[in-house]
C-alpha cells in the first residue's frame, strides 16, 4: 500500500486546496477528510505530515471591493437583487458583500450569484466613489462630468417606449465636438438629483442627436427599468453626473441575462462547477453516428508529395488514423486540437501567439458543419470579443459556407455588412401575417399616443378650461357660480345665455378674468411653482467654471476606440431618424402636490373650504386660492394617468419588439452560422434564448469575462469550443481590486485549465522570426518555430532584427492625465519610424505600440506631423492582441526614481507586446526599471547573449544610400542621419544643409554637459556587462569588433524642442553622454544648453561601415 498510494501528493493537494481557498476548503478541511488523513498519518507517519495541513490557513476573505464603506450589507438572492445601485450604496456609502470567483463551486446557485454580484460591483464601485468625491468637491473632470441646472423639457413616445428629453446648460457643453466626443454617448448611465443627492434618479442616454444637442443643448434619456418616474417633472432643476470610467450598457444586459437564468439553465455543470475527471463527447455524438467526413476539412492541407493518401472519413470516437500526420501538412498539435474539439463537449484550445488559432477554429467550424447537419436543429453560434476578430472569423467561414448572418451594427467589413441581420431582413419580403399584426400594434400605439398628448396638454396647462371646472364642481355649484356672474354683471348681462350649460370657452375666460380680477389668468398659478431649489451656488460656480478644454481633454482619445467599439456593439438610436416618434414639448413647470402646497399657506388660507362658500362673495385672495385648488385637482387628476399610459406604451413596444424578433428568428433559423460579439450576446438575449444554439464556438475566450460566456449558453447547448490564450490579455475590469482580490479577471477559459480540465496547446508558431520568438521561451517552453519564419528578409535600415535601446530619461509629469507618457521615447520613435520609412518600408508595414494611452496620444501627435509617417499605425498594446505586422516598435514609457513598473510588470501585457512582430522588433525603454522582474530579466539576458548584442544605449541604424552604420541614441542623431528634407521629425528641425557624411565629420567640438539628475541610479554598462553608478547611456555597443576609436563630439546645433509636458532626465555621469534638446538639464521640457561641468569633454564612438 505504501508503494501504491501517492501519500505526499495527497497532503500537498490538501494543503494547496486550503491555501488557494477553493469552495470546498474555505472554512478548512471537512471532518471526513481530516479523519482520513489522521488514519493515514497513524499508519504512515514518515510520509504523512498532518501538521502542514492543519497549520495551513485559507487566504483572508475579502468581502467588498469598496475602499471605504460604512456598512457591509448581506446580498439577496441574485434574482431578487436590484441591478441599479440602491440609495444606501450611493448615499450612505454602504456595500453588498461579495464572494470571490472560486476555482470550483458546490452549487450552481452560488456560481451564478457570485458572477452576478461581482459584475454588478464592477460598475457600482466607480459610481459610489465618484459621487463621494463630488460631494467632497474632489472629483476629477476627466472621470466625472457634472451638468448643473438640467431641466426636463419634453416627453417622447418611441419604438422602445417613453423617453424623456432633457436640456443642459449651453455654457457647460459649448466646446464639445459632438461628432468625435464619447461624452453622453448612447447607453451612458446618468445620475440625476434635485436635492443635492439626497435622492437619486437613474437614467441612460437613449439618443444623442448631434444637431439637437449642439443647437439646443437637448438630449433624450430613458429610465433603465421603469417606464415613468413622476419625479422627473418640468420646472425642477437637476444636477446630473456622468461617470465616464464605466459604460453601463455593457453591464446592463449581462446582469439582466444572469438574473433571468435559473440554475437548471446552466449546461455542462459537471465541468463548469467542478473538474470532470473523464471528459465526455457532445451529447449528440454517439458510437453509432460518429463516422465523420473530413474531405473538405483537409483538402487544402495535403502534402503534394505524400505517398500516403489522407483518410476522407473515419470514426472520431475511436483512434484517429495515423496516416493523417503522414499525409497532411499540419503540425501534430493542430491535428490534436481538431480531434479534441470534435470529441469533447467542453473543448479548450490554447493558442500561443502566431500558432494559428483562427485557422484551427475555421477547420473546426467546417468539420462541425459538414458532419452535424442531421443532429443540429439550430445554427452554430460564433462569439468573439472584438468586432474586428468577428469580421475576420466570419469572413473565413463565408468562404466555405454562404449561409452566415452577423448580428451587431459595428462591422467594418464590407462583406460582413452585406451579411448583417438587418440587411438580410431588408432583402426579404415580409409575410402578410406579419404586416397585419404590425398594423394592428401600430394602430394601438397611435391611439395611446393620442391619449398621451391629451393628458400631457392637461398636465402642462396652468389655466382651468371650462370642461375642467365643470368636472371639478357639482352641477348645482356650477349653476350657482354662473348665476353669481350674471348678478355681478348687472346691467351688462344682456347677451348672456340663460342656461349655465350654454357657456362657451370664450365666455368662461371672461368670467375668470372678472372673478380673479386679472388680465392674465396664467399668472395666478405662479405662486404654486415658485423658485425651484437647485444645487448650491458654490457648487454651481465650481462646476460651471470648469475649463471645458480640461474636462474634455480625452474626449477624442482614438486609442480607446477599440474598447468603445466592443462596448457599443448595440444598435444605438439614429439621431437623424425621428419619423415615427411622438414628441410633446413641456413648457410649463408641473404643479406641486396639494399637501405640499397647503403646508406653505397661512392658516386663514389653509382652512379654506371653497365648496361651502359663495364664491362671488369671497375676498380676492381666497378667490385666487380657490382657483389654485382647482388647478391642483385638475393637474393631478391628469398626472395620475401618466404611469398607466407609460406602461401601456411600454407593453405595446415590447409586443412590437417580439413581433420583429419572431421575424428575425425565422431568418436566423435558415442560417448555418450566426456570429456576434460578447456585447451583442447580452443585448440580444431574448433572441438567443429562442434560437437555442446547440453548438457555441468562442474565439478570444481568454479575454472574455466568465459571465459573458455564461449568458451565451442555453440549456440545450451540447457543445462549446473555447479558443484563446490565458497567458495573453485577461478580461478587463473597471475596479482593480475586483481583479486582485476577487479574481474577476480570471476567464472561464483560464479557470477550467487551472482546474485541470482537458485541453490542447498549439505548439508551432508561424509569425515571428526565431530571434523574436526566443524572447517568449520562459512563457512557452514547448513553442517551436515553423521553418518558414527563418526565411524572412533582413530588416531595412537597422543593423539588427531585434534590439532593445536603453535610456535613462524620466517619464513625463502626470499632470491631470491619468495615463503615462515619455517625451524622450516619443521623439526617438517618431524619428526612428521616419528612418524606417525612408529605408524602404511602407507606413502600414510598421506599427508603434505602447501600454499607455497617454503615450499613444503623444506618439500619434508626433508621428502624424511628418507626411512621411502619417500612415504609420499607433495603438495601445491592449488593442493589438491578435494582430501582427512586419515591424513593431514598442515604447515602454516607465522611467522613474521609485522604479514603479505599472503595466510593465503584467506578464500578459508583456507577452502581447513582444509577440506581434514578424520581421523585426525594436523596444525603447529604461532597462533599470525592469531588472527586478523575472520575465524581463530573462528577456534582457537573452538579448545580452545575442551576437551582435541585442541591447544597448545606442541603436545601430543603416544609412539607406551608403549602407554605413550609425549608432544613434536620440532623435537628434536620427534626424542628422535623415537629412534636412526629413528633419522635422518628432516635432524638431535642424538648420544645417550638409550631407550626412559632412555632418558626422564636423562633430568634434567641445560641448557643454547638462547638469545631472537622479544620481546614483543603477545603470547597466552594455560594453563590459558590469554595473556602475550613473544615470545615462552606456559606452559603446557591447561588441569589440564594432568598436572604433573615440572622437570628441561637438554640440549638435539644433532648434528643436521637446513638448512642454516633458520631465525627462538627461544622461548623467557617463562620459559618452551628449546633451540633446529632448532632455534639457533643467527638466522643464524646453530645449536648451545644459550647465557647464568641470572635466574633460565628452566623447562619442563614431562607427562608419559600408
Does residue 348 sit in helix, strand or coil? Answer: strand
Q: Which of 880, 826, 830 is nearest to 855 (CA)?
A: 826
Query: Measured between alpha carbons, how far is residue 297 from residues 19, 280, 342, 362, 366 in Å?
Result: 46, 23, 13, 9, 6
pLDDT for the residue 1093: 38
219 contacts: CB under 8 Å, gap ≥ 6: 165, 166, 167, 168, 184, 205, 207, 208, 212, 213
Q: How far apart are CA 544 and CA 174, in angstroms?
A: 11
Backbone angles phi, psi at 676, to 5 degrees: -160, 160
| Cβ neighbours of 237 (radius 10 Å) | 17
pTM of the model: 0.80
Q: Which of 728, 742, 759 is nearest to 271 (CA)?
A: 759
Averages of pLDDT over each 10 residues, the chain, 1106 residues: 69 64 55 75 74 55 71 90 92 89 90 96 92 88 90 94 94 88 91 92 94 93 94 93 90 93 94 83 88 92 87 92 91 95 96 95 96 91 94 96 92 92 93 95 96 94 90 90 90 85 92 92 86 42 37 36 50 50 90 86 82 88 92 92 96 95 95 94 91 95 95 94 95 92 94 92 96 95 95 96 96 75 96 96 96 94 94 94 95 94 92 96 96 94 92 94 91 85 43 39 40 39 41 36 34 36 37 35 37 38 38
Q: How far apart are CA 856 and CA 846, in angstroms?
A: 15
Which neighbouring-strand residues pair with 220? 165, 207
CB of 24 within 8 A of CB of 104?
yes
Q: How many helices (H) and strands (E) does the chain have?
A: 40, 32
Q: The C-alpha cell of 506 is what?
A: 370664450
Please give the angle made by the CA atoms of 19, 24 and 30, to the nearest 5 degrees: 95
CB of 719 within 8 A of CB of 899?
no
635 contacts: CB under 8 Å, gap ≥ 6: 458, 459, 461, 590, 591
What's the maximum distance between 2 C-alpha atoms anywhere in the chain? 125
Residue 238: its H or E element: strand 238-243
Residue recorded with cell 496516416 = 323
Q: Which of 152, 226, 146, 138 is nearest to 184 (CA)?
A: 146
Q: The C-alpha cell of 897 is what?
A: 526614481
Backbone angles phi, psi at 274, to 5 degrees: -135, 155
Q: Which of 887, 877, 943, 888 is nearest to 912 (CA)?
A: 877
pLDDT for the residue 961: 83
pLDDT for the residue 817: 59
Q: Which of 990, 999, 991, 949 is nearest to 971 (CA)?
A: 990
Burial label, 1040 (beta-carbon count in 10 A; 0-12, 13-18, 19+): exposed
CB of 58 within 8 A of CB of 19?
yes
CB of 68 within 8 A of CB of 93?
yes
Q: How far apart are CA 680 and CA 659, in angstroms?
A: 19
Question: How far from the centroid of its chain's Cα atoms is residue 386's Cα?
Answer: 11
Q: How far apart are CA 76 and CA 86, in angstroms?
A: 13
Residue recorded with cell 494559428 = 356
Q: How far apart are CA 888 and CA 898, in angstroms?
A: 28
3-state secondary structure 278-289: CCCCCCCCCCCC
pLDDT for the residue 543: 40
CB of 920 within 8 A of CB of 802?
yes
Residue 726: its H or E element: none
Q: How far apart are CA 778 and CA 262, in angstroms?
A: 43
C-alpha torsion 370→376→380→381, nearest 10: -170
Which neighbouring-strand residues pair with 147? 240
Please give the angle made by the CA atoms of 873, 877 and 881, to the nearest 5 degrees: 95
Burial label, 1009 (beta-carbon count in 10 A; 0-12, 13-18, 19+): buried
Q: What is the DSSP string of 93-158?
A: --EE------S--S-HHHHHHHHHHHHHHHHHHHHHHHHHHHHTT---TTTEEEEEEEEEEEEEEE
pLDDT for the residue 1052: 36
Which neighbouring-strand residues pair with 874? 848
Q: How far apart are CA 877 and CA 913, in angstroms?
A: 6
Q: How far apart are CA 1064 and CA 815, in angstroms?
A: 14
pLDDT for the residue 1050: 35
Q: Which of 320, 933, 392 is nearest to 699 (CA)?
A: 392
Query: Measured between alpha carbons, how far is residue 1037 from residues 488, 927, 980, 1061 in Å?
Result: 110, 15, 27, 31
The contacts found for 489-492 with CB under 8 angstroms, 24 or more apart, are 489/514
Q: How far apart are CA 810 and CA 886, in angstroms?
A: 29
Q: How far apart are CA 976 and CA 965, in angstroms?
A: 13
Which neighbouring-strand residues pair with 383? 676, 698
Burial label, 270 (beta-carbon count in 10 A; 0-12, 13-18, 19+): middle
Q: Is the bond preceding 912 in cis, omega lying within 30 degrees of 0?
A: no
Q: How far apart are CA 595 and CA 599, in angstroms?
A: 6
Q: How far apart are CA 259 and CA 255, in angstroms?
A: 6
Q: The C-alpha cell of 69 is what?
A: 464603506
Q: How far apart are CA 524 and CA 532, in angstroms?
A: 17
Q: How far apart are CA 940 and CA 934, in angstroms?
A: 10
CB of 240 within 8 A of CB of 191?
yes
pLDDT for the residue 932: 87
Q: The C-alpha cell of 1104 is what?
A: 562608419
| Cβ neighbours of 434 (radius 10 Å) | 15
Radius of gyration of the chain (CA): 36
Q: The C-alpha cell of 36 is what?
A: 482520513
Amino acid at each position: 500500500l505504501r508503494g501504491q498510494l501517492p501519500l505526499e501528493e495527497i497532503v500537498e493537494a490538501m494543503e494547496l486546496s486550503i491555501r488557494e481557498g477553493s469552495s470546498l476548503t474555505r472554512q478548512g478541511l471537512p471532518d471526513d477528510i481530516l479523519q482520513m488523513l489522521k488514519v493515514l498519518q497513524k499508519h504512515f507517519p514518515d510520509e504523512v505530515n498532518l501538521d502542514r495541513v492543519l497549520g495551513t490557513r485559507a487566504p483572508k476573505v475579502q468581502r467588498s471591493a469598496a475602499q471605504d464603506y460604512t456598512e457591509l450589507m448581506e446580498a439577496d438572492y441574485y434574482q431578487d437583487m436590484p441591478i441599479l445601485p440602491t440609495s444606501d450604496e450611493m448615499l450612505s456609502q454602504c456595500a453588498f458583500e461579495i464572494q470571490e470567483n472560486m476555482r470550483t463551486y458546490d452549487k450552481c446557485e452560488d456560481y451564478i450569484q457570485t458572477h452576478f454580484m461581482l459584475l454588478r460591483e464592477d460598475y457600482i464601485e466607480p459610481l459610489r466613489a465618484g459621487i463621494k468625491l463630488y460631494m467632497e468637491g474632489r472629483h476629477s473632470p476627466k472621470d466625472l462630468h457634472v451638468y448643473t441646472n438640467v431641466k426636463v423639457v419634453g416627453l417622447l413616445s418611441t419604438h422602445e417606449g417613453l423617453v424623456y428629453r432633457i436640456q443642459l446648460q449651453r455654457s457647460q457643453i459649448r466646446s464639445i465636438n459632438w461628432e468625435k466626443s464619447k461624452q453622453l454617448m448612447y447607453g451612458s448611465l446618468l445620475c440625476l438629483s434635485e436635492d443635492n443627492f439626497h435622492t437619486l434618479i437613474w437614467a441612460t442616454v437613449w439618443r444623442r442627436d448631434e444637431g439637437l444637442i449642439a443647437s439646443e443643448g437637448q438630449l433624450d434619456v430613458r429610465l433603465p427599468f421603469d417606464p415613468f418616474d413622476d419625479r422627473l417633472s418640468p420646472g425642477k432643476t437637476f444636477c446630473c453626473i456622468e461617470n465616464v470610467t464605466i459604460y453601463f450598457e455593457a453591464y446592463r444586459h449581462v446582469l439582466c441575462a444572469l438574473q433571468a437564468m435559473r440554475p437548471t439553465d446552466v449546461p455542462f455543470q459537471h465541468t463548469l462547477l467542478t473538474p470532470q475527471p473523464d471528459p465526455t463527447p457532445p451529447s449528440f455524438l454517439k458510437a453509432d453516428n460518429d463516422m465523420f467526413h473530413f474531405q473538405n476539412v483537409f483538402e487544402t492541407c495535403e502534402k503534394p508529395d505524400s505517398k500516403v493518401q489522407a483518410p476522407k472519413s473515419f470514426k472520431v470516437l475511436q483512434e484517429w488514423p495515423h496516416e493523417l500526420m503522414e499525409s497532411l501538412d499540419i503540425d501534430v498539435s493542430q491535428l490534436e486540437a481538431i480531434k479534441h474539439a470534435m470529441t469533447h463537449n467542453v473543448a479548450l484550445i490554447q493558442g500561443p501567439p502566431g500558432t494559428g488559432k483562427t485557422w484551427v477554429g475555421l477547420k473546426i467550424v467546417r468539420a462541425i458543419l459538414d458532419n452535424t447537419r442531421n443532429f443540429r436543429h439550430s445554427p452554430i453560434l460564433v462569439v468573439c470579443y472584438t468586432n474586428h476578430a468577428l469580421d475576420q472569423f466570419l469572413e473565413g467561414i463565408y468562404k466555405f459556407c454562404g449561409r452566415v448572418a452577423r448580428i451587431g451594427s459595428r462591422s467594418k467589413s464590407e462583406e460582413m455588412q452585406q451579411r448583417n441581420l438587418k440587411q438580410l431582413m431588408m432583402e426579404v419580403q415580409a409575410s402578410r401575417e406579419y404586416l397585419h399584426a404590425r398594423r394592428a400594434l401600430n394602430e394601438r400605439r397611435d391611439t395611446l399616443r393620442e391619449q398621451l398628448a391629451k393628458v400631457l396638454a392637461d398636465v402642462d396647462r396652468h389655466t382651468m378650461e371650462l370642461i375642467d371646472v365643470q368636472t371639478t364642481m357639482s352641477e348645482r355649484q356650477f349653476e350657482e357660480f354662473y348665476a353669481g356672474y350674471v348678478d355681478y354683471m348687472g346691467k351688462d348681462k344682456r347677451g348672456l345665455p340663460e342656461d349655465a350649460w350654454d357657456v362657451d370657452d370664450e365666455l368662461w375666460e371672461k368670467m375668470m378674468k372678472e372673478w380673479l380680477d386679472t388680465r392674465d389668468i396664467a399668472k395666478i398659478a405662479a405662486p404654486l411653482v415658485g423658485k425651484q431649489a437647485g444645487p448650491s451656488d458654490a457648487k454651481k460656480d465650481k462646476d460651471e467654471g470648469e475649463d471645458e478644454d480640461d474636462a474634455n481633454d480625452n474626449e477624442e482619445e482614438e486609442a480607446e476606440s477599440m474598447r468603445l467599439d466592443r462596448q457599443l456593439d448595440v444598435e444605438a438610436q439614429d439621431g437623424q431618424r425621428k419619423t415615427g416618434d411622438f414628441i410633446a414639448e413641456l413648457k410649463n413647470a408641473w404643479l406641486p402636490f396639494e399637501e405640499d402646497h397647503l403646508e406653505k399657506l397661512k392658516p386663514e388660507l389653509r382652512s379654506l373650504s371653497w365648496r361651502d362658500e359663495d364664491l362671488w362673495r369671497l375676498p380676492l385672495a381666497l378667490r385666487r386660492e380657490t382657483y389654485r385648488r382647482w388647478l391642483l385637482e385638475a393637474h393631478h387628476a391628469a398626472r395620475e394617468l401618466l404611469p398607466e399610459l407609460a406602461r401601456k406604451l411600454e407593453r405595446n413596444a415590447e409586443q412590437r419588439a417580439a413581433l420583429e424578433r419572431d421575424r428575425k428568428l425565422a431568418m436566423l433559423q435558415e442560417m448555418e452560422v450566426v456570429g456576434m460579439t460578447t456585447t451583442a450576446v447580452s443585448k440580444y438575449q431574448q433572441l438567443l434564448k429562442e434560437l437555442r444554439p446547440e453548438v457555441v464556438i468562442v474565439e478570444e475566450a481568454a479575454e472574455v469575462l466568465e459571465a459573458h460566456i455564461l449568458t451565451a449558453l442555453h440549456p440545450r447547448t451540447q457543445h462549446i469550443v473555447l479558443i484563446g490564450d490565458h497567458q495573453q490579455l485577461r478580461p478587463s475590469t473597471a475596479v482593480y481590486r475586483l481583479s486582485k482580490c476577487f479574481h474577476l479577471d480570471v476567464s472561464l477559459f483560464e479557470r477550467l485549465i487551472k482546474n485541470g480540465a482537458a485541453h490542447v496547446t498549439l505548439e508551432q508558431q508561424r509569425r515571428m522570426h526565431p530571434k523574436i520568438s526566443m524572447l517568449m521561451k520562459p512563457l512557452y517552453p514547448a513553442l517551436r518555430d515553423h521553418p518558414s519564419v527563418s526565411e524572412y528578409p533582413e530588416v531595412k535600415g537597422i543593423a539588427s532584427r531585434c534590439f532593445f535601446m536603453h535610456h535613462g530619461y524620466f517619464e513625463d509629469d502626470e499632470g491631470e492625465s491619468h495615463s503615462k507618457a515619455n517625451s524622450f521615447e516619443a521623439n526617438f520613435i517618431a524619428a526612428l519610424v521616419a528612418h524606417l520609412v525612408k529605408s524602404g518600408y511602407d507606413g502600414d508595414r510598421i506599427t508603434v505600440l505602447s501600454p499607455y494611452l497617454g503615450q499613444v496620444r503623444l506618439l500619434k501627435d508626433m508621428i502624424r506631423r511628418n507626411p512621411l509617417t502619417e500612415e504609420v499605425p499607433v495603438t495601445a498594446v491592449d488593442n493589438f492582441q491578435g494582430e501582427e505586422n512586419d515591424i513593431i516598435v514598442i515604447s515602454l514609457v516607465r522611467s522613474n526614481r521609485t522604479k514603479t513598473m505599472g503595466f510593465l510588470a503584467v506578464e500578459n501585457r508583456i507577452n502581447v507586446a513582444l509577440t506581434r512582430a514578424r520581421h523585426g522588433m525594436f523596444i525603447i525603454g529604461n532597462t533599470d526599471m525592469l531588472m527586478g522582474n523575472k520575465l524581463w530579466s530573462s528577456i534582457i539576458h537573452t538579448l545580452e547573449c545575442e551576437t551582435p548584442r541585442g541591447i544597448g544605449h545606442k541603436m545601430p541604424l543603416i544609412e539607406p544610400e551608403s549602407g554605413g552604420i550609425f549608432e544613434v541614441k536620440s532623435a537628434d542623431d536620427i534626424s542628422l542621419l535623415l537629412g534636412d528634407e526629413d528633419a522635422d521629425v518628432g516635432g524638431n528641425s535642424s538648420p544645417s544643409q550638409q550631407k550626412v557624411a559632412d555632418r558626422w565629420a564636423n562633430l568634434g567640438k567641445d560641448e557643454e554637459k547638462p547638469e545631472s539628475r537622479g544620481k546614483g541610479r543603477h545603470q547597466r554598462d552594455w560594453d563590459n556587462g558590469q554595473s556602475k553608478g550613473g544615470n545615462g547611456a552606456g559606452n559603446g555597443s557591447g561588441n569589440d569588433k564594432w568598436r572604433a576609436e573615440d572622437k570628441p563630439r561637438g554640440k549638435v546645433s539644433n532648434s528643436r524642442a521637446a513638448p512642454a509636458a516633458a520631465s525627462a532626465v538627461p544622461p548623467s555621469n557617463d562620459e559618452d553622454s551628449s546633451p540633446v534638446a529632448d532632455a534639457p538639464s533643467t527638466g522643464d521640457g524646453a530645449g536648451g544648453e545644459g550647465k557647464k561641468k568641470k572635466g574633460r569633454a565628452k566623447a562619442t564612438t563614431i562607427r562608419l561601415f559600408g
